[in-house]
Amino acid sequence: MVSKDFFDALEALEEQKGIKKEFFIETLESALVAAYKKNFGEARKVEVKLNPEKATIKVYAYRVVCEEVSDPDCEISLEDAQKIKKSAKIGDSISEEITPKDFGRIAAGTAKQVIVQKLREAERSLAFGELESKVDTIMTGTVRRVDADTVYVELSGTTIEGVMMGSDQIPNEKYEVGARIKVYVKKLRETIHGVQAIISRSTPNFVRRLFESEVPEIASGVVEIKNIVREAGYRTKLSISSNDANVDPLGACVGNRGVRVNSIVSELGGEKVDIIIWSDDPFEYIARALSPAKVISVEIDEVLKASKVVVPDDKLSLAIGKSGQNVRLAAKLTGWKIDVKSESASKKQEDVDTGNFNVETDADDADSLFTNLDE
């Protein structure tokens, strides 16, 4: 009734798409039940069975054996049932083959529609499974197109398209079609066009995974990244600690002659990376977090979780950073508010607070001090 080519096509789909033939057969059997009922107005319970070995498709109708038949479409008398199956008894389900002669044509048309639909669904499912383990990791891909501020990347070894929005790109980084780049996989999403991966190069987790790939001690857990903050394209700060007293965490991250950290900085296009040794002492941790600036003193208010930091006059701009970037990242890294003052400004403020004025202070300085008092 059905050409062997019908089942050979299912075999080919399994080979080409990696989708099991059994998946299509099970789905087709359900779809063919609906197609049969639609075409032949069948009210009985119907089942369609596909047999790849014999290359056959058969339709069966089922009725329950009853003492009294009230619904002939669903029920059959014991007498009639025993004509079909001698051992039939009350309560049994009796099947009869009702395969129409032209059912092969209906089956072929239905199969085409079902296969197209289920192929898409199966490919989505496979795509999710294919990339599910890659979420929260770094992958390599090839830039396929750039549309306005969105970059589309073909992820190596998959059939998945990665989408990198403007906010996930490193500022001022150029993405050329055909270029190979590393990206961090944030999450997967389903669209009308299939499964897409939302990818990023601006997230702090991108830098975290780069360190894990470059520093074996981090990958093994000997060295731990306590926290990481970032303003992509400009500066990253990460705090680290060692779980082994014999392992220097800073040396592990920097590498011999800086080879490890330089590899990461190169991948980030020259972005500054400050590696800070973590400490449970807030005074020490805050001072280190303001690297590369040197710190003279740190005062903290544990209730407000705020700190006042004094730095040398010539290090004030370095401590604060361009547009406040360095102190802002230090505050995020430590979880403490940080107010940075130069040594001279701190001394003046201290004089104001204690009323210790120098009689030789000129008028302009005095006015400035009293203005601060008024404020």
146-184 confidence digits (pLDDT tens):
998 999 999 998 878 899 999 999 998 999 999 999 999
Per-residue pLDDT, 40: 77
Per-residue pLDDT, 158: 82
- What is the average per-residue pLDDT within 204-218? 97
- What is the average per-residue pLDDT within 246-264? 96
CA-closest candidate to residue 307, choices 297, 298, 315: 298
288-314 confidence digits (pLDDT tens):
999 999 999 999 999 999 999 999 999
Per-residue pLDDT, 367: 43
Single-letter amino acid, residue 338: I
Q: What domains are defined for the chain?
A: 4-130 (3.30.1480.10), 138-200 (2.40.50.140), 203-278 (3.30.300.20), 290-375 (3.30.300.20)
| Distance between CA atoms of residues 45 and 33, nearest Å | 9
- What is the average per-residue pLDDT within 99-126? 73
Per-residue pLDDT, 2: 54
Q: Which long-range contacts (CB under 8 A, 24 or more apart) does 212-218 make?
A: 213/138, 214/255, 214/260, 214/261, 214/263, 214/264, 215/252, 215/253, 215/255, 215/260, 217/242, 217/247, 217/249, 217/252, 217/253, 218/252, 218/253
114-130 confidence digits (pLDDT tens):
777 767 776 677 667 77
- The phi, psi pair for 252, rounded to 5°, reads -65, -40
- Coil vs helix vs strand at 121: helix
- The phi, psi pair for 284, rounded to 5°, reads -70, -40
More confident residue, 364 or 245: 245
pLDDT band at 352 (very low <50, low <70, confident <90, very high): low
What is the DSSP secondary structure assignment for residue 89, as one 8-state letter? -
Per-residue pLDDT, 226: 98
pLDDT band at 361 (very low <50, low <70, confident <90, very high): very low
What is the DSSP secondary structure assignment for residue 170, as one 8-state letter? P
| 9 pLDDT more than 50 | yes
Please report where in the chains the tokens 């790849």 appear, as a residue: 52
